[in-house]
Amino acid sequence: MIAGIAQIRNEELIIADTIEHFLGFCDRLYLYDDVSSDETPAICASYPDVKLVRGTEWAKDRSGAETANRQRMLELATADGADWICTFDADERIELPETDWRAYDAVRMKLFDFYITAEDLHLSYADRRWMGPEYRFIFMLYRNGPHIRFVHHGQRDMWMFLQGKRVLVDGYVKHYGKAISVQEWEDTCDYYSTYFGEPYRTKWLNRKGKAIHTESDFGRPLITWDQKDQFGVELRP
């Protein structure tokens, strides 16, 4: 069984698309709803292959809470017999490798950020054309086992537990977090600048009012999805 796990909050604009996308290759989704105040829980509950856990308290320690919430979903999926774990965020869509990824122990993909531009401001996030050329590597799929766990604050990847494992570097992630809407952009700026420490606080505070892009957040010309292999550049820390 392939289990998808994620933490979600106030995702009513995109959560149905998210669920349907990931159920395209996951057998079941395990979603922790972090005290949503919109229709996100009701939408999730309408899908029989979604196991939803609703949080009851908003924790101000966001890094610690996100790690604990993901670990809880991992434990539920493991108890149900999950052989593979797909970790994702609600604003992501993935293109699986053409290689037989099940022959490996983990899959590491290239993640690209999409942006809002003046020409597509009126369109749905999924119809955004432009993205930054920068990509970062992110683990998305893991063969389940006792070595897979979330323990460190702010942890998303579990690369530190993969020593000696077979890792496939292939596949792509479309990240729409910066492309959903102008209001979502402003809410994200407020979230990180309020609840996270440096360098996130200053970086996102400086991004307020800049949802519409003419270049990437890293100062490079925007590209289209079909140009990713030609112009893609790894974003290093």
Q: Which range is least confidently modeled, 19-33, 38-52, 157-171, 217-231?
A: 157-171
Tally the domains of the chain: 1
The 3-class SS string of 6-59 reads EEECCCCCCHHHHHHHHCCCCCEEEEEECCCCCCHHHHHHCCCCEEEEECCCCC
Q: What is the pLDDT of residue 217?
A: 95
d(CA 5, CA 85): 7
Global confidence as pTM:
0.94
Q: What is the pLDDT of residue 82?
A: 98
Q: How many CB atoms lie within 10 A of CB 11?
A: 26
Parent domain of 136: 2-234
- What is each CA distance from 160 to 154, 163, 165, 221, in whole angstroms? 14, 7, 11, 33
| Single-letter residue type at 115 | Y
Per-residue pLDDT of 175-229, as tens digits, reads: 999 999 999 999 999 988 888 888 888 999 999 999 999 999 999 999 999 999 9
Q: What is the pLDDT of residue 93?
A: 98
Q: What is the pLDDT of residue 156?
A: 82
Report yes or no: 31 and 3 within 8 Å, Cβ to Cβ: no
Share of the chain above pLDDT 70, in %: 100
Q: What is the pLDDT of residue 199?
A: 85
Residue 90 in this model has a pLDDT that exceeds 80: yes
Residue 181 C-alpha from the chain's centroid: 17
> Helix, strand, coil proportions of the chain in percent (round to 5)?
30, 25, 45
Residue 171 in this model has a pLDDT that exceeds 80: yes
Q: What is the pLDDT of residue 128?
A: 96
Q: What is the pLDDT of residue 177?
A: 95
Residue 59 in this model has a pLDDT that exceeds 80: no
First-to-last alpha carbon distance for the chain, in angstroms, is 34
**DSSP-H helix ranges across 26-146:** 40-45, 62-79
Q: How confident is the model at residue 125 (pLDDT cuts 50, 70, 90)?
A: very high
- The listed range with the strongest mean pLDDT (55-59, 148-152, 231-235) is 231-235
In this structure, what CATH number is given to the domain that contains residue 7?
Answer: 3.90.550
Residue 154 in this model has a pLDDT that exceeds 80: no
